[in-house]
Amino acid sequence: MPTDPVLLDDLTLEQSSVVANNAMNRGRGLSGVNSYARELGFDPYEVLAERLRADPTARVTWIDVCCGSGRALLEAEERFDREFPTADVAIIGLDLVDFFLNKPRTPRLRLLTTSATAWRPPREADLVTCVHGLHYIGDKLALIESMTSWMTPSGHFAADFDPSEIRCPDGSPATTAVVDAVRAAGLTYHRRRHQVRGHGRPTFAATFLGADPTAGPGYTGQPAVVSYYEW
């Protein structure tokens, strides 16, 4: 008979080897074959650059959660420095592990070693992304609520997300309830890409019970955390 999983809270989960790893998102750049542009379906730099080309006095902000080595953000910092040297640009990367590729060259970029679950942004963001990070989060739904609340009214959110990693207390998937809440908020769930994106701010009628880091690999083939909720 299979035994019930031992569910961990967020603080305990962050100390586990599955979550506190230095192998996630280390080599992904901004554009090209292994890149944010390929994974997300758009180039984050170009999204913000278009706003600055339309209005050079605009203030633009990009927050990337679970940024890994920060390679994509460092490349974006360099491109903004070349094309928009005087623009008001803020790029913020968050990761649980301090394994950044390089230090920021300018004050425009901040690479922070911190838990995204308790962090709050210094200003609203035009773009909030999370590339293959939610797989390692315990209370995934609370983080989605937080990340979408960080946006400006016209901001855009995009994150890799597998709703089958959300479970009911008996272990059954809560996929339908999650996708319904996402769509009701005006976000789009792309099943083929396993991605949630858009401008909405969802509210999930669920209570986080804990997470199981021993559930095995997710759709990426890498270990993933399964999160349990009372609905």
| Cα separation values, 128 from 14, 21, 193, 231, Å | 22, 22, 17, 27
In a domain, 4, yes or no: no
Sites in the chain below the pLDDT cut of 70: 1-3, 20-26
Residue 111 lies in a domain: yes
For position 24, which CATH number holds?
3.40.50.150
pLDDT of residue 156: 97
Q: 10 Å Cβ neighbour count for 164?
A: 15
User: Which residues touch 144 (CB under 8 Å, ≥6 apart)?
Assistant: 134, 159, 161, 196, 202, 204
User: What is the model's pLDDT at position 23?
Assistant: 53
Kindly state the DSSP code that residue 225 receives in the 8-state scheme. -
What is the pLDDT of the chain when averaged over all its residues? 93
How many angstroms separate the Cα of 146 from the Cα of each of 17, 59, 127, 141?
25, 21, 13, 9
Q: What pLDDT does residue 80 have?
A: 98
Please give the pLDDT value at position 117.
Answer: 87
In a domain, 102, yes or no: yes
- pLDDT for 226: 96
- Parent domain of 170: 10-230
Single pTM value for the model:
0.94
Q: What is the number of domains present in the chain? A: 1
Other CB atoms within 10 Å distance of the CB of residue 183: 15
The answer to the question of residue 2 being in a domain is no
Distance CA 119, CA 116 (A): 5
**pLDDT for residue 3:** 66
The predicted-structure confidence for 50-87, as pLDDT tens digits, reads as follows 999 999 999 999 999 999 999 999 999 999 999 999 99
Q: What share of the chain is helix, strand, coil (3-state, %, to 5)?
A: 25, 25, 45
- With respect to residue 114, please indicate whether it lies within any of the assigned structural domains: yes
